[in-house]
Chain A
Amino acid sequence: MANTNQQGTTSLQLLLAWGFVGIPLTLGVLQTLINAMKLFQ
C-alpha cells in the first residue's frame, strides 16, 4: 500500500508547520551563536 499521492498536504501547510518551529529555533540558535562568539574575542 505504497502512498504515492502527496496532494493531501499542501506546500503551504508544510511551510507553516516548519516555520512554526523553525523560526523560533533559528532565532534562538543565532542568539546563542552571537554569545558564543565571545569565546574568540
Chain B
Amino acid sequence: MLSFLDRNRTIAEPGFSRWMVPPAALCVHLCIGQAYAFSVFNLPMTKLLGITQSTPADWKLTELGWIFSIAIFFLGVSAAVFGRWVEEGGPRRAMFTAALCWAGGFLVSAIGIYIHNIWLIYLGYGVLGGCGLGIGYISPVSTLIKWFPDRPGMATGMAIMGFGGGAFIASPLSVWLMGKFNSATHVGVAETFIVLGIVYFFFMIVGAIIVRVPAPGWKPAGYTPPVSAQRLITKNDVFVYDALKTPQFWLIWWILCLNVTAGIGVLGQASAMSQEMFPGHITPVAAAGFVGLMSLFNMGGRFFWASTSDYIGRRNTYFLFMVLGFALYCTVPYTGSIGSVVGFVCAFLIIISMYGGGFSTVPAYLKDMFGTRYVGAIHGLLLTAWSMAGIFGPVLVNYIREYNVTHGVPKAQAYNVTMYIMAGLLVIGFICNLMVKAVHHRFHMKPDHEAERAQAEVAAAGEPAGA
C-alpha cells in the first residue's frame, strides 16, 4: 500500500492538468494554517476543570502560550531536518506524513485534555503537530515550481496563501464545534480536537491523492524557457547542503528574517497598539475588525506579491518591501500624532501584505538562485529564519513598549521607537538584498553527479534504469 506514496507513482500521465496541483497544495496548507487560529482555544483551555471559570488547578495562559511556540519551533526544525527527505521522497509521501503528524498531534492533544496533562499537549500539538506543519509547509513547493516554470511566484504564492487563509476556516469552525460539544460538564475542547484531527486528515489525504509531479522534461504547452541568460535566474541546480555554503543563502535568510521580524511583531500586537495609539477612536470591537482586515491582507499579499514577482523579479520585489516598508514604518508615528486612523490602518495593511508577500516570494527567489532540484529542501532550511523572527519580533515590540511606558512615555507614543527600529531593520534587509548576486558556478551540481543520483533513485524505486 505504501508504494502508492512513492515519487514514481505520482508522475503525471499525459493530459494531466497542472491546475490540479494548486488545489492539492491548498488541501495541505489550508489545514496546517489552523496554527494561526490556535489562540481560540486558549481561553476555553483555562477553564477545563472549572468549566464556567478558571480554578487554581486549571492551566494558565502562560503555560498554554508555549503550545504555539513549540509548534512554530518544530515547524522550522522539521522543515530544515526533513527538507531533503521531502524533496527526494516526493510530495505524496510528504503530504501523507504531514497528515499523520498533524492529525496525530490533535488526537494526542485530545488525550492530554482528557487526562489534564499539558505535557501531552506540548508533545502532541507542539512537537508532532509542529513536524506536520514543517513537512506540510514545504511538501508542495518544489512540485508547484516544476509545474509552473513560467510563473513560479504565482504558483507558490497560491499555496502559501492557503497557510494564511487556514485560520479563516479554523477559527469559526473551532468556535462552532466547541459550542456544539459544550455542556455543563465539558468545555468541548477535546471533542473539537478529535473532530478537527479527523477532518484535517481527510482533507490532507485528498491533497496527497490529487498531487502529481511532472514527467521528466515536461514543459507547459507553448512555454519556451528564456534563451538569453538572466543574471539572477540560474539554469543550474545547487545541492541542498552546498547551498548552505553560499553567501546567497544567508543573505536571503536575513532578508526573510528581517522582513518577518518587522511584520510579526506588529501582527501580534495590532489590537492593543491600535487602541493605545488612538484612545477613544478605536474601540476593542473596531480593533478586532482591524485584526481581521490585517489577516485578509496578510493572505492576499501572499498571492499578490508573489505573482507580481514573476513580472518585476524577485530581488526587485524585496527592494519594494524594504523601501515601502521603511517609508510606512516611519509614517506610523506621524499618523498617531495627527490622529489619522485612516493613515494608520492603510499603512499597516500594506505592511502586513508585504509580510505575507515575504513568505510567498521566497521559494521562487530560492529557485532563481539555486535551481529547482532541491528548492523545497533549501526552503526548509531557510524557514529557521521564521523561527528566529518569531522570537525577535514580539520581543522587540513588547519589551520596548514596556520600557517606554515604565519610563513615563505616554501610551499613544510608546510604539514610536519600535516603528523606527523596524524601519531600521528594513534598511539592513535592503543592504542584504543589494548584496545578492548570482551563485558562483563552483556550487552548481555537475551533470555526471546528477545522472548517478537519478540512477540511484530509479534503482531504489525498484525499476530498471531507463524505464
A residues in contact (CB < 8 Å) with B? 1-9, 13-14, 17-18, 20-22, 24-25, 27-29, 31-33, 35-41
User: Roughly how many angstroms separate A39 CA and B189 CA in the complex, as a whole number?
Assistant: 30
* A and B contact pairs by CB, cutoff 8 A, 14 listed: A3-B218, A3-B221, A5-B14, A8-B13, A13-B20, A29-B168, A31-B172, A32-B171, A32-B296, A35-B289, A35-B292, A38-B285, A39-B287, A41-B289
User: Roughly how many angstroms separate A7 CA and B13 CA in the complex, as a whole number?
Assistant: 11
Beyond A28-B165, A29-B296, 19 additional contacts (C-beta under 8 Å) are A1-B215, A1-B219, A2-B220, A2-B221, A3-B218, A3-B219, A7-B15, A9-B16, A20-B27, A20-B206, A21-B30, A25-B168, A28-B167, A28-B172, A32-B292, A36-B289, A39-B286, A39-B287, A41-B285
Query: Given the complex, which residues of B lie within 8 Å of A31, measured CB to CB?
Result: 168, 172
Q: How far is the CB of A3 from chain B (nearest CB, A)?
A: 6
Given contacts A8-B16, A13-B20, contact A40 B219 (CB under 8 A): no
Q: How far is the CB of B92 from chain A (nearest CB, A)?
A: 15
Query: Given the complex, which residues of B lie within 8 Å of A7, measured CB to CB?
Result: 15
Within 8 A of A (CB), among B148-181: 162, 165, 167-169, 171-172
User: Roughly how many angstroms separate A14 CA and B23 CA in the complex, as a whole number?
Assistant: 9
Judge whether B41 is part of the interface by a CB distance below 8 angstroms: no
Beta-carbon contact of B217 and A39 below 8 Å: no
Query: Chain B contact residues: over half helix, strand or loop, or mixed?
Result: helix
- A25's partner among B15, B30, B219, B285 (CB-CB below 8 A) is B30
Q: How far is the CB of A9 from chain B (nearest CB, A)?
A: 4
User: Roughly how many angstroms separate A20 CA and B24 CA in the complex, as a whole number?
Assistant: 10
Cβ contacts B403-438/A at 8 Å (1 or 0 each): 000000000000000000000000000000000000
User: Roughly how many angstroms separate A28 CA and B30 CA in the complex, as a whole number?
Assistant: 11
Beta-carbon contact of B168 and A32 below 8 Å: yes
Judge whether B288 is part of the interface by a CB distance below 8 angstroms: yes
Query: Given the complex, which residues of B lie within 8 Å of A21, measured CB to CB?
Result: 23, 26-27, 30, 162
Given contacts A14-B19, A24-B30, contact A35 B288 (CB under 8 A): yes
User: Roughly how many angstroms separate A41 CA and B364 CA in the complex, as a whole number?
Assistant: 40
Q: Considering only CB atoms and an 8 Å cut-off, how many residues of chain B contact the other chain? A: 43
Question: Of residues B282, B287, B292, which shows the largest number of chain A Cβ atoms within 10 Å of its Cβ?
Answer: B292
Query: Given the complex, which residues of A lie within 8 Å of B162, measured CB to CB?
Result: 21, 25
Question: Of residues B16, B296, B299, which shows the largest number of chain A Cβ atoms within 10 Å of its Cβ?
Answer: B16
Question: Of residues A14, A20, A24, A39, which shows the largest number of chain B Cβ atoms within 10 Å of its Cβ?
Answer: A39
Query: Chain A contact residues: over half helix, strand or loop, or mixed?
Result: helix
Write the chain B residue with the least CB distance to A41.
B286
Beta-carbon contact of A36 and B296 below 8 Å: yes
Question: Of residues B14, B168, B222, B285, which shows the largest number of chain A Cβ atoms within 10 Å of its Cβ?
Answer: B168
Judge whether B345 is part of the interface by a CB distance below 8 angstroms: yes
Judge whether B290 is part of the interface by a CB distance below 8 angstroms: yes
Judge whether B53 is part of the interface by a CB distance below 8 angstroms: no
Given contacts A21-B23, A21-B30, contact A6 B17 (CB under 8 A): yes
Question: Of residues A21, A29, A40, which shows the largest number of chain B Cβ atoms within 10 Å of its Cβ?
Answer: A21
Query: Given the complex, which residues of A lie within 8 Å of B223, measured CB to CB?
Result: 2
Beta-carbon contact of B23 and A20 below 8 Å: yes
User: Roughly how many angstroms separate A22 CA and B287 CA in the complex, as a whole number?
Assistant: 28
Beta-carbon contact of B23 and A9 below 8 Å: no
Beta-carbon contact of A32 and B295 below 8 Å: yes
Query: Given the complex, which residues of A lie within 8 Å of B210, measured CB to CB?
Result: 17
Beta-carbon contact of B218 and A29 below 8 Å: no
User: Roughly how many angstroms separate A31 CA and B20 CA in the complex, as a whole number?
Assistant: 27
User: Roughly how many angstroms separate A25 CA and B34 CA in the complex, as a whole number?
Assistant: 12
Query: Given the complex, which residues of A lie within 8 Å of B19, measured CB to CB?
Result: 9, 14, 18
Given contacts A8-B16, A21-B162, A39-B345, contact A27 B289 (CB under 8 A): no
Write the chain B residue with the least CB distance to A9.
B17
Beta-carbon contact of B293 and A36 below 8 Å: yes
User: Roughly how many angstroms separate A40 CA and B346 CA in the complex, as a whole number?
Assistant: 13
Beta-carbon contact of A39 and B219 below 8 Å: no
Write the chain B residue with the least CB distance to A5.
B15
Query: Given the complex, which residues of B lie within 8 Å of A41, measured CB to CB?
Result: 285-286, 289
Write the chain A residue with the least CB distance to B300.
A29
User: Roughly how many angstroms separate A24 CA and B27 CA in the complex, as a whole number?
Assistant: 11
User: Roughly how many angstroms separate A1 CA and B169 CA in the complex, as a whole number?
Assistant: 40
Query: Given the complex, which residues of B lie within 8 Å of A3, measured CB to CB?
Result: 14-15, 218-221
